[in-house]
Amino acid sequence: MNHAPPPTVSVILPTWNRGWTLTDAIDSVLDQDFGPLELIVVDDGSTDNTAQLLSAYGDRLRVIRQANGGVSAARNTGIRAAGGDLIALLDSDDVWLPGKVTAQVAFFREHPDALICQTEEIWIRNGVRVNPGKRHRKQTGMIFEPSLALCLVSPSAVMMRRRLLDEVGLFDERLPACEDYDLWLRIAWRHPIHLIDRPLIVKHGGHDDQLSRMPELDKYRIRSIARLLDSGCLSPDQREAAAAVLKTKCAIYAQGCRKRGRMDDGQYYDRLAEKYRQQENHCG
């Protein structure tokens, strides 16, 4: 029997003006039946009642305050400050269900070669439970190709070994949205992303300040795919799949630009699609 002490888990919770939901997220971490656990809340320049809410928790959590720099900068600040061997993320509008941390730590103990896993989730949109569509269904293993079309990994559901982030890097702070999509692709082309097939988080959606409601999200997905293609790291099959998705996204995005009178932008994305169509299908 393995009597090794459990690895320390660091939870990174970025927040910006989410006082209306923050305490639910924090409490769902502190109520977990696991220890030792480090909770780092990164206050990304909030101007609401966030500071007062956080002060009520005393030393049960660690607070880092910084000027507003976006969710990637906030997550990265927390990750750099974390002391755990395992890193978990939680968005401030989501909550964990009981046993989430215990289940993922147990998974890593049972699978010492695994670097990242996520759990299933319950979706609540505008206060009503909804069922994810078939295209949003989470998969397990080498999920790079299906992850190209849309993001199949939820930050709040993820736990990963710190050494994985040492290998692939942190969130790209230049991306105002789709920063998680970008990171998961950088992981998924080389490592399996495992799934615990139990809903252990509640994911809330529909509110006005969600990044997923930003317009033109495919612009940032195109940028991520193009960088992977340019890196020469992908296998021939991965490269073919990535180029096909990029061309489709470019065509749709270019058409949208032209409908809005942005002809130069439309031509740029047409040229980008043509660039990858002409490239040979091989890794550099």
Cβ–Cβ < 8 Å for 26, 39: yes
Report pLDDT for 119.
98
Cβ–Cβ < 8 Å for 93, 210: yes
Report pLDDT for 276.
82
Record the pTM: 0.90
How far does Cα 260 stand from its chain's mean position?
30
Ordered mean pLDDT values, 10 residues apiece, the chain (284 residues): 69 96 97 93 96 96 96 97 96 97 97 98 89 84 95 96 97 94 98 97 74 72 95 94 94 90 90 78 43
Report pLDDT for 6.
59
Report pLDDT for 206.
63
Report pLDDT for 280.
47
> Domain 9-212 classified CATH 1.10.3720.10?
no
Q: Could you tell me which residues are beta bridge partners of residue 130?
A: 123
Report the chain's C-alpha Rg in angstroms: 20
All structural domains of the chain with their residue ranges: 9-212, 217-278
How many degrees, rounded to 5, is the angle at CA 117 between CA 15 and CA 83? 55
